[in-house]
């Protein structure tokens, strides 16, 4: 079965104790059928993969996992700027092995060789060079609750 090169732009809204943010990531992934399942291997970012019985399920898992990773990174960051740097580093951290497969798969799609599975045939063909990127928009800075408990004492 063929390998399928994907390019994507995804929006995730993440929330952690210090802030909430909208994350728009642009990257690429490689969808393949291996070990009797569909796998969506990250290329940029290369630091994740997900699987499912059908391409749609593998893709849904990939999207959910990516959002979860952004949330992990946000919750580990002391500021929105620190999160922005972490998210940027993550998305630009390419998987070289999958990048080579992705490029070969793209050439095969361009050449029109082989049949294309229905899920992928329904996708818009994108012949542009897609540069991986991330934008992080702060939605809300969350301040600690202004409540307290103290022991009252006479003045």
Partner 1 sequence: MLKKCAPGHTWIEKDHRIHVVFKGKAYRHLPTGKKGGKGEVKRLFVKQLATQLEIEECAKAEIPALSN
Alpha-carbon distance of 21 to 111, in angstroms, equals 41
- Supply the minimum distance, in Å, between the C-beta of residue 84 and partner 1: 16
Cross-strand pairs, 50: 40
Q: Residue 86: which residues within 8 A CB-CB, separation 6 or more?
A: 73, 74, 76, 77
Q: Which is nearer to partner 1, 64 or 121 (CB)?
A: 64
Please check whether residue 4 is in contact with residue 101, taking contact to mean a CB–CB distance below 8 angstroms.
no
We find the least distance from the C-beta atom of residue 76 to partner 1, in angstroms, to be 8
Nearer of residues 1 and 141 to partner 1, judged by Cβ? 1
Note the residues at the interface with partner 1 (CB under 8 A): 34-35, 39, 41-42, 46-51, 65, 68-69, 72, 89-90, 93, 95-98
Closer residue to partner 1, CB minimum distance, 21 or 49 = 49
CB of 19 to partner 1, least distance (A): 18
Specify which residues 23 forms β-bridges with.
12, 136
Q: What's the closest the beta carbon of residue 79 comes to partner 1, in angstroms?
A: 19
Rounded to a whole number of angstroms, the minimum distance from the CB of residue 3 to partner 1 is 13
Cβ-contact 138, 19 below 8 angstroms = yes
Q: Strand 49-52 vs strand 37-44: parallel, antiparallel, or unpaired?
A: antiparallel
Asked if residue 116 lies in contact with residue 2, where contact means CB atoms within 8 angstroms, the answer is: yes
Check the CA dihedral 90-93-97-100 and report its sign: positive
Q: Which residue's CB is nearer to partner 1, number 98 or number 109?
A: 98
| CB closer to partner 1, 96 vs 125 | 96
């Amino acid at each position: 079965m063929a390998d399928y090169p994907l390019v994507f732009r995804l929006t995730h809204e993440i929330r952690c104790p210090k802030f909430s943010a909208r994350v728009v990531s642009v990257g690429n992934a490689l969808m393949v059928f291996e070990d009797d399942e569909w796998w969506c291997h990250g290329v940029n970012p290369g630091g994740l993969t997900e699987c499912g019985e059908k391409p749609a399920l593998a893709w849904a898992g990939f999207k959910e996992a990516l959002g979860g990773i952004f949330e992990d990174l946000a919750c580990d960051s002391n500021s929105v700027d620190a999160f922005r740097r972490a998210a940027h580093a993550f998305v630009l951290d390419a998987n070289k092995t999958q990048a080579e497969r992705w490029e070969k798969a793209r050439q095969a799609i361009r050449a029109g060789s082989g049949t294309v599975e229905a899920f992928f045939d329904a996708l818009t063909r994108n012949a542009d060079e897609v540069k991986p990127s991330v934008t992080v928009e702060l939605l809300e800075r969350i301040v600690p609750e202004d409540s307290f408990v103290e022991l009252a004492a006479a003045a």
